[in-house]
């Protein structure tokens, strides 16, 4: 008989609950074919734009201009749809990418920070610490164990 540590058992239990919840709520969603979602949908445009440009210098005014909408309209999309402001959403996308690089590359933290689109290593470290409660270096060491 296999005996799992308490942490592993808790993880399996969480996964089971998530699967049960998803099995019950998925039928309630009305799915739309991807071909029916496109350039007319501002939320789709917003997500696509950030996915394509998060590593670049990106501001709300620039994005609003490029999408042909006002800054206030775009700001409402972020707060209403994503429940966060533009900068936080952008930093989340950048952090996800940076974490992937921390795990799967030997690049320096400074190189990762710049490649992920952060304006400085200080900003990167601050945002990283806020989300993960540890430095990028500590994160890399911990997840590679």
Residue 14 domain-assigned? no
- Over the stretch 55-88, which tens digit does the pLDDT of each residue have? 999 999 999 999 999 999 999 999 999 999 999 9
For the question of whether the overall pTM of this predicted structure is more than 0.95, the answer is no
pLDDT at 41: 85
pLDDT at 31: 66
CATH number, residue 128: 1.10.10.60
Residue 56 domain-assigned? no
pLDDT at 63: 96
Residue 99 domain-assigned? yes
Asked if 125 and 136 count as a contact pair (C-beta separation under 8 A), the reply is yes
Token pair of 112 as six digits = 């990762």
Residue 45 domain-assigned? no
Asked if 69 and 63 count as a contact pair (C-beta separation under 8 A), the reply is no
Token match 């919840």: residue? 21
Confidence band, pLDDT 50/70/90 cuts, at residue 1: very low
Spatial neighbors of 93 by CB under 8 A, at least 6 apart, are 50, 51, 54
Q: To 10 degrees, what angle do helices 136-143 and 86-104 make?
A: 50
Confidence band, pLDDT 50/70/90 cuts, at residue 99: very high
Give the total number of structural domains in the chain: 1
Domain that residue 125 falls in: 91-143
Residue 35 has pLDDT above 70, yes or no: no
């Amino acid at each position: 008989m296999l005996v799992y540590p308490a942490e592993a058992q808790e993880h399996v239990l969480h996964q089971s609950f998530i699967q049960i919840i998803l099995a019950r709520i998925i039928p309630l969603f009305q799915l739309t074919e991807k071909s029916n979602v496109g350039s007319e949908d501002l939320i789709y445009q917003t997500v696509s734009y950030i996915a394509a440009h998060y590593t670049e210098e990106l501001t709300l005014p620039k994005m609003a201009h490029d999408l042909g909408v006002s800054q206030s309209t775009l700001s409402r999309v972020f707060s209403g749809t994503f429940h966060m402001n533009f900068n936080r959403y952008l930093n989340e996308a950048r952090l996800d990418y940076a974490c992937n690089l921390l795990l799967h590359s030997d690049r320096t933290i400074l190189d990762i920070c710049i490649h992920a689109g952060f304006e400085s290593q200080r900003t990167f470290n601050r945002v990283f610490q806020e989300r993960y409660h540890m430095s990028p270096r500590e994160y890399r060491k911990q997840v590679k164990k």
